[in-house]
Amino acid sequence: MEFLSDVTVELVRHNAADSDVVWAARVSTAGEQSLEAVHQDPERSRGLINYLMRDRHGSPFEHNSMTFFISAPILVFREFHRHRVGWCLPGDALIPVGPLTNGVNKKIKDIYADWHEGVHDSVGGVRELPSRRHPTTRTVNLDTGLIESARIADVFRSGIKPILKITTVHGKVLRCSPDHALLSRGAWVKAKDLAPADLISAQATVPAGESTGVPGPLREGVRDEEILSVVPDGEEETYDISMPGPWHNFIADGIVVHNSYNEESGRYRELQPVFYVPGRERRLVQQGKPGKYTFVEGDDEQYKLVTEAMEDSYRRSYEAYQEMLKAGIAREVARAVLPVGLFSSMYATCNARSLMHFLSLRTKDERATVPSFPQREIEMVAEKMEAIWAGLMPLTYAAFNAAGRVAP
């Protein structure tokens, strides 16, 4: 059993620089020539970045991407996942729902409405959708290349975003936000990084044994389709679906797409006994009224109580988890006894605009014109993400602070 007082944040992959902001902004006035700004010295553009930030011209800050690996207690992820930023589909994107053999295509905005506003019953009334009735959709098993049925974990609205229209040579059309990831030659690639002649995975009928070399009956799977064109297609309200592990993908308009958070699965792997215990520097005692809390240090006795009570509780709940697994109980059932202090891990991908929004809410900083009062544990994650981002986009970072840490 391991007890940790700190969180881990690592930058796994990125495509984020101040010059990305500059070329995206200059397309308004310089058209195609703005691409020359990609390799320009962004110092020359400090004034432009400051202006965009101050006047809240937000979209130039979206043309970049950072993927973080985050290891933190589950209580952090419960707050983290409230941020629905980033990688989304317009409302008319068609998602297959229902049984594999007898499903129907439904617009993502209608799935959202059913989920959040209730399903119309047969006499035209509206009733609440029970959470256990999360609809099934399609996910690609990346080991076999075959399409399987999986329940949607969540569907959410992500705000108004620019849209790219991707057309394949076989006539499939996907419209999605530039940051939405598509499967291309086995790797997840952002829509904005795809170009004509690139290959993307699309739904197709394939022999079931293809991946193993032993041909089987025809099954729904995926095949590579060549892209014919990638063009901007306006701006509109966007949506996204969250899928459970291990694959975290779904099919939209016949094309394989990814969702934006990938968290370790307690259904597919045994959870490891790593738990959170606050360090001595974590202020333990809350004072004041809701919305006006301050936190002060606990005394030695309080720290001792917290440490012992947590460690004891963690030990007992993990023993109960193990006992159930040994008795043959499914991991997805047994995990119910594990507390929110259990460590989990995830990949979180975002662009600078969404990161700034996240930082404005999840850090407490004297430079903020709109102060926030985040829980310390998510703030520990946010501070580490901020330090990494500051190194990648120093001019944007300075402009964010100068503008009172308000996301554009």
Ligand X SMILES: Cc1cc2nc3c(=O)[nH]c(=O)nc-3n(C[C@H](O)[C@H](O)[C@H](O)COP(=O)(O)OP(=O)(O)OC[C@H]3O[C@@H](n4cnc5c(N)ncnc54)[C@H](O)[C@@H]3O)c2cc1C
Burial of residue 407 (CB within 10 Å: 0-12, 13-18, 19+) is: buried
User: Cα-Cα-Cα-Cα dihedral of 306, 308, 310, 316, to 10°?
Assistant: -160
**Exposure b/e, 125-156, CB count within 10 A at least 16 = b:** eeeebeeeebbbbbbbbbebbbbeebebbbbb
Q: Which residues pair with 345 in a beta bridge?
A: 71
Q: Is 353 one of the annotated binding-site residues?
A: yes
Q: Using CA atoms, how far apart are residues 174 and 200, in angstroms rounded to an integer?
A: 11
What is the nearest approach in angstroms of ligand X to the Cβ of residue 383?
A: 14
79 known ligand binder: yes
Taking the complex as a whole, how short is the minimal distance between the CB of residue 354 and ligand X, in angstroms?
Answer: 6
> Which residues of this protein are in contact with ligand X, per CB under 6 A?
82-85, 157-159, 357, 361-362, 372-374
Q: Which is nearer to ligand X, 86 or 221 (CB)?
A: 86
* Least separation in angstroms between CB 49 and ligand X: 21
229 is in an annotated binding site: no
Minimum separation from the CB atom of position 39 to ligand X (A):
31
**Three-class secondary structure of residue 40 per DSSP:** coil
Catalytic residue among 56, 362, 367, 405: 362
Residue 157 or 165: the one with the smaller Cβ distance to ligand X is 157
Paired residues of 90 in beta bridges: 238
Least distance to ligand X from the beta carbon of 365, Å?
A: 13
Q: Which of 401, 390, 25, 351 is nearest to 158 (CA)?
A: 351
Between the alpha carbon of residue 37 and those of residues 45, 64, 183, 351, 371, the distances in Å are: 9, 14, 29, 19, 35
The answer to whether 170 is annotated as binding is no
Is 83 annotated among the ligand-binding residues?
yes
357 is in an annotated binding site: yes
- Given the complex with ligand X, which of 148 and 237 has the nearer CB atom? 237
Tell me how many degrees the CA angle 222-225-229 measures, rounded to the nearest 5. 140
* Residue 287 C-beta: closest distance to ligand X, Å: 16
- Has 258 been labeled as part of a binding site? no
Q: CB-wise, 107 or 157, nearer to ligand X? A: 157
CA distance 174 to 284: 50
User: Do residues 353 and 407 lie in contact, with contact meaning Cβ atoms separated by under 8 Å?
Assistant: yes
Q: What are phi and psi of 292, to 5 degrees?
A: -130, 35
Q: What is the DSSP letter of 342?
A: B
Q: Is 315 a catalytic residue?
A: no
What residues are designated binding site? 59, 79-84, 335, 351-353, 357, 362
Residues annotated catalytic, as ranges? 362
What residues are designated binding site for dUMP? 79-82, 335, 362
